[in-house]
Structure 1
Amino acid sequence: MSLPIDAAHHRRGLAITAVGGLALSFDIPLIRLSDGEVWSLLATRSLCTFIVALIAWFVLNRIMGRQIALVPGRQGLFAGIFYGLGTFTFLLSVFNTATANVVFIVAFTSMFAAILSWIFLKERPSNATLITMAIMVFGVSLIVQDGLKSGNVFGDAMAVLSALLLACAITVSRASGKDMGLVPLATAIFPCIIGYLLSPAEGLIIADPFWIIFDGTIMIPLAFFCLATGPRYLSGPEVGMFYLLETILAPIWVWMAFNETPTSQTLAGGGVLILALVGHSLWQMRQRSAASIAPPLH
């Protein structure tokens, strides 16, 4: 059953998720700047995020008087598990394939969200969404094919799994209708534990810990809080589309900082994904605008 969303809530949702997508675009560059071992980075980043969740929960509940649960019930736990596993697979993808491959493939989150919303929430995608989905499958196939040639198939597979897990989290959040803003932050304790268990015996190995601490305490909490709050105001596919900001901007930041240039085939696949998502977003905006000015039926 489709959830009603009025115009004011929709605008609020657009603003919140846009901030989240922008903050998320700095994640990979900050991970790369930290120059550390993958499990050490996972543990440190996740621990910082979990501490922020506890602080935010205390401030919201005890000081501001808002009753917000860290993990609201069983649905919150399921969403948190999906977010935690997504963090795990995302870090693996960052260390096993090119940045452009990761963010272009993760852009498929919106289409996974559309499929899951169709199956579990009975929100049938429009014909335009189905066409966009088919085009995006072609774009992702170009990137994965390039990964097969370059030996990055594991990293590309982890990126695909990350997109699916994020879509699962978005769908569960939307189905619950509950405030899930703190869930991805609080459940960061799960990948934190995994990271510490798999870290080198001699301890955490991070050349420049400032960047990963900044990422874990500022950028990731801001990004996930906004993106986890978005499903209260927007549909799953719309929330997923704001991951497009990371898709566009992260390769630019990495190119500026590390001079990492994507292959021509990856750029071609990414171009297909971006054009498909931009076209679909413009179509949705036009449809919503037309619906808002249409006279009511009597």
Structure 2
Amino acid sequence: MSYLRGAILIILAGVLWSTQGLIIRLIPDTGSWAILFWRSAGMLPVLAAWIAMAAGRDVITEMRAVGWAGVLGGLGLVMAFSGAIYAFQATSVANAVLLFAASPFFAAILGRLLLGEWVSPLTWFAIVLAAVGILVMVGGGLAGGAMDGNIAALVSALGFAIFTVTLRWGKLANMLPAVALGGVFSMIAGAIALAILGKSVLIPLPEIAISALMGAVTLTGGMLLYTVGSRVVPAAQATLLSLVEVLLAPVWVWLLLGETVSQGTLIGGAVLLAAVLLNAYGGRATKAQGASPLGLRPHPQDI
């Protein structure tokens, strides 16, 4: 595969991921735990089929092969997935996706503390710069009553950072079985949370369909496109290309739902994005690169 095709696949992954905030806003009456359950249910069959096709053996064997690193990474994805969904419901989409971009810096700090990975002076400067941007954005959210959504977005970013660090700790070459574990754990967490809250996992069929399709197409589809494209695109450049998610997500909700962006989000987001760009460029020369994509996100989120 050529570099150009790989870059196009990564951009398309970012475009798919960027629609998740809009889709979640289209089902506002569905709680975040129910969305988490059904989105994960939609994600797992597609992911399982891809893993089986690529590995030549069943997905259960592949999931068992990732060991404790994959288990911890999967639990990190529960944080990433659930935090992202709640953030999209509780704060502006612009706030959420920009705060998801803090994940590389959380990963760099955790990698240093837990794995002893070297962090370059440039990355430390970018981390400080990102912290300034986050404080500006979260401060604006406090004034606007969206603090819980901002915190959820940061929890999502931290969860994806945990996922990233556990992959490096376990030296896992293939992240997809760990992602599948994250989907299984997310379904379990969603079901338990709904039971504790006294709510049913059964929601209206159209909302089940929307949530499941979001998992199968936008979340998993984007992840597979990114995985294939990143084989021929250097990590730092792939990170930059995937930022199309951060740029497009607020555009969709502005065009279709009329959601505007606050001044604090614009200022803090610009500072945070500058830090991400600085870290991505500087990452080419570092021994341990904390940068990673989702926002699935995660992100992803989110993913």
Partner of 2:216: 217
Which region of structure 1 is more displaced relative to structure 2, 144-153 or 119-128? 119-128
After superposition, the Cα gap between the structure-2 partners of 1:220 and 1:125, relative to the gap in structure 1 and judged at 3 Å, is: same
| Deviations, residues 233-263 of structure 1 (Å, cap 9, x unaligned) | 9999887666633222211122122111111
The structural deviation recorded for 1:274 is 1.4
Gaps spanning 5+ residues in structure 1: where?
1-7, 289-298
After superposition, the Cα gap between the structure-2 partners of 1:181 and 1:18, relative to the gap in structure 1 and judged at 3 Å, is: farther
Partner of 2:180: 185
Which region of structure 1 is more displaced relative to structure 2, 175-184 or 44-53? 175-184
TM-score (norm 2): 0.77
Partner of 2:110: 116
* Paired residues for 1:33-48 under 5 Å: 33-38=26-31, 39-48=33-42
Partner of 2:119: 125
Sequence identity percentage: 24
Whole-angstrom distance in 2 between the partners of 1:220 and 1:86 = 12
What amino acid is the match of 2:155? Answer: L
Cα contact 1:114–1:237 (8 A) shared by 2: no
Partner of 2:265: 266
After superposition, the Cα gap between the structure-2 partners of 1:12 and 1:207, relative to the gap in structure 1 and judged at 3 Å, is: closer
The structural deviation recorded for 1:144 is 0.6
Whole-angstrom distance in 2 between the partners of 1:171 and 1:11 = 29
Partner of 1:92: 86
| Deviations, residues 170-227 of structure 1 (Å, cap 9, x unaligned) | 1111232221223213431222233234173483146555432321112211334466
Cα contact 1:94–1:102 (8 A) shared by 2: yes
| Deviations, residues 104-156 of structure 1 (Å, cap 9, x unaligned) | 11110011111122223332221111111111100000111011111111111
Partner of 2:71: 77
Q: Which protein shows a greater Rg? A: 1
Please say if 1:194 is aligned against 2:189.
yes
Whole-angstrom distance in 2 between the partners of 1:68 and 1:238 = 33
Cα contact 1:18–1:242 (8 A) shared by 2: yes
What amino acid is the match of 1:180? Answer: M
Whole-angstrom distance in 2 between the partners of 1:24 and 1:159 = 15
| Deviations, residues 261-288 of structure 1 (Å, cap 9, x unaligned) | 1111111111111122223434446x59
Give the secondary structure class of the aligned counterpart of 2:119.
coil
Cα contact 2:10–2:230 (8 A) shared by 1: no
TM-score (norm 1): 0.79
Whole-angstrom distance in 1 between the partners of 2:110 and 2:97 = 21
After superposition, the Cα gap between the structure-2 partners of 1:135 and 1:12, relative to the gap in structure 1 and judged at 3 Å, is: farther
The structural deviation recorded for 1:14 is 7.2
After superposition, the Cα gap between the structure-2 partners of 1:187 and 1:202, relative to the gap in structure 1 and judged at 3 Å, is: closer
Whole-angstrom distance in 1 between the partners of 2:170 and 2:280 = 25
CA RMSD of aligned residues (A): 3.6
Which region of structure 1 is more displaced relative to structure 2, 230-239 or 50-59? 230-239
Cα contact 2:236–2:281 (8 A) shared by 1: no
Give the secondary structure class of the aligned counterpart of 1:262.
coil
Please say if 1:163 is aligned against 2:130.
no
After superposition, the Cα gap between the structure-2 partners of 1:11 and 1:55, relative to the gap in structure 1 and judged at 3 Å, is: same
Give the secondary structure class of the aligned counterpart of 1:125.
coil
Q: How many residues align?
A: 279
Whole-angstrom distance in 2 between the partners of 1:66 and 1:149 = 47
Give the secondary structure class of the aligned counterpart of 1:211.
helix
What amino acid is the match of 1:31? Answer: I
Whole-angstrom distance in 2 between the partners of 1:66 and 1:153 = 39
After superposition, the Cα gap between the structure-2 partners of 1:283 and 1:194, relative to the gap in structure 1 and judged at 3 Å, is: closer
Give the secondary structure class of the aligned counterpart of 1:182.
helix
Whole-angstrom distance in 1 between the partners of 2:35 and 2:170 = 32
After superposition, the Cα gap between the structure-2 partners of 1:34 and 1:55, relative to the gap in structure 1 and judged at 3 Å, is: farther
Whole-angstrom distance in 1 between the partners of 2:277 and 2:128 = 15
Whole-angstrom distance in 1 between the partners of 2:59 and 2:151 = 40
